[in-house]
Amino acid sequence: MIPKNRREKLLSQLNDGALVIISTNPEQLRNGDVYYPFRPHSDFWYLTGFKEPRAIAVFSKEHYTIFLRKKSPEREIWDGECLGIAKAVQTLGASQAYPINDLKHKLPQLIANATTLYYDFKSCILDDEIIQCLDGMQTQSLNEYLHEMRLIKDDNEIVLMKKAADISAQTHQLAMQQTKAGLFEYEIASIFDANFKKNNVEHAYTSVVAGGKNACILHYINNNQVLNDGDLLLIDAGCEVNGYASDITRTFPVNGKFSKAQRQIYQIVLDAQLAAIDCIKLGEVVTKPHQVASQIIQQGLINLGILQIGEDLSQFYMHGTGHWLGMDVHDVGNYQQNNQHRQYKVGMVTTVEPGIYIRKNDKINPQYWNIGVRIEDNVLITDNGNSVLTKAIVKEIDKIEQLMRLK
Ligand code: GLY
Ligand code: MN
Ligand code: MN
């Protein structure tokens, strides 16, 4: 669906007299006059296709008005060309376009005929003067409508997600093949930086490249330690393509061969992941994968004597089994409907990412200490079950070992 159709679909669900106001992200200052690379707000990008900072869209069934930066020859010397007002109507399909600084003068006119204002109070950046213009209007949150739309991916969105999955999968395989003891985590992280750049895509999130005990730190991003012979390496890394993310984790031995203890833990996680993926289908309740994965992990750890019956699993498995994936890596969309866990629908994409993390613990046989394993794939719900978008990357023990022999 193109942004115009998305706006129409959104408006068709709102009251007559609805007016939508949506802004993009602010630019983020790093220091001095240096900014972080700009990434548009996903809601704004989804509804407008416009990727410049400092822009606000206001639309109803009658008009689509965009406020954006004026062209400025002085600024463009530093920052490059921007779209400007003159080209905005045609390029963005707007009915009218104005400089962003005109918002406060134009808004009273635009809201005059509106009965309900829809905007997201948290992400919509409006200054106080503008908020005052809206005073007294009936306002409603946009998210329940907009995020429900974003949750169901159409064919074009799936093409982008598949492309992101393919580039990330190829890069994970490169990383597996290039890993060896003595390298540093950042050297493996740089394979992702280089291959994503080479494909002209962005990281969807900061890579986790965690050798040995670092794999037990869930959000480890320092990526600065040496890789040791005999340790596992956990890599959670993925790119986004035109704003659509992939989110993949693989765990493999630094020296290419799983030890017995690593193999035992890895196989439990893999069994849990395969069983969780298997139950993802149209109509299944979204809590099922976590329930299935947790049961398998619990039983597996009890069988190895790592967990005692009645003990809390969360000391070894402390996160969920998946989340929605889309323009945001932890994508929008409710997990509940009418106060109940909702069911999968065709076009949703979820991650499936069980794990086991065993820190040093005197109650556990030391052969299991510092083993952290997570396996994460991206799964699309289809008419006849599901499709694993990230299946190009190996995850069975013998296939990983075989790939790592092909250096
Ligand atoms: N990469 C973030 C996550 O797996 O949720
Ligand atoms: Mn994830
Ligand atoms: Mn991840």
pLDDT digits (tens, 9 = 90+) for 321-373: 999 999 999 999 999 999 999 999 999 999 999 999 999 999 999 999 999 99
Residue nearest to atom 5 of ligand 1 (CA): 330
Q: What is the pLDDT of residue 142?
A: 93
Report CA-CA distances (Å) from 24 to 153, 174, 336, 397. 21, 36, 27, 44
**Which residues contact ligand 1 via a Cβ below 6 A?**
205, 236, 247, 329, 353, 376
Chain region(s) in the chain for CATH 3.90.230.10: 152-405
How many angstroms does the Cα of residue 40 sit away from the middle of ligand 1?
Answer: 20
Torsion angle (degrees, nearest 10) of CA 128, 133, 134, 137? 150
Task: Please name the helix (run of DSSP H) or strand (run of DSSP E) that holds residue 103, with its range, or none.
Answer: helix 103-111
Q: What is the pLDDT of residue 179?
A: 98
Chain region(s) in the chain for CATH 3.40.350.10: 3-150
Region 376-385 average pLDDT: 98
Given a cut of 80, whether residue 263 has pLDDT beyond it is: yes
> For the chain, what is the mean pLDDT?
96
User: Counting beta carbons within 10 angstroms of the beta carbon of residue 242, is it exposed (0 to 12), middle (13 to 18) or buried (19 or more)?
Assistant: middle
Given a cut of 80, whether residue 125 has pLDDT beyond it is: no
How many angstroms does the Cα of residue 386 sit away from the middle of ligand 3?
Answer: 19
Q: Which residues have CB atoms below 5 A from the ion given as ligand 2? A: 247, 351
Active site residues: 33, 219, 236, 247, 319, 323, 330, 353, 357, 374, 376
- Atom in ligand 1 nearest the alpha carbon of residue 376: 4
Task: Quote the CATH superfamily of domain 152-405.
Answer: Creatinase/methionine aminopeptidase superfamily (3.90.230.10)
How many angstroms does the Cα of residue 281 sit away from the middle of ligand 3?
Answer: 21
Query: Residues 357, 249: contact at Cβ < 8 Å?
Result: no
DSSP per residue, 332-360: ---SEETTEE-B--TT-EEEE--EEEE--
Query: Residues 378, 348: contact at Cβ < 8 Å?
Result: no
Residue nearest to atom 2 of ligand 1 (CA): 247
Whole-model pTM: value is: 0.96
Over pLDDT 90: what percentage of the chain? 92
The candidate with the shortest Cα–Cα distance to 146, out of 43, 222, 70, 75, is: 43
The candidate with the shortest Cα–Cα distance to 322, out of 344, 305, 340, 301, is: 344
Query: Residues 334, 324: contact at Cβ < 8 Å?
Result: no
Q: Which of 221, 249, 331 gets mutated to test ligand 1 (max ligand atoms within 8 A of its CB)? A: 249
Residue nearest to atom 4 of ligand 1 (CA): 247
Query: Residues 61, 94: contact at Cβ < 8 Å?
Result: no
Q: What is the pLDDT of residue 314?
A: 98
Helix (H, G, I), strand (E, B) or coil at 198: helix
Sheet holding 248-253, edge to edge: 208-211, 232-237, 248-253
Work out the angle between the directed axes of helices 155-178 and 185-198 (0-180°, nearest 10): 140
The answer as to CATH 3.40.350.10 being correct for domain 3-150 is yes
d(CA 82, CA 72): 8
How many angstroms does the Cα of residue 247 sit away from the middle of ligand 2?
Answer: 5
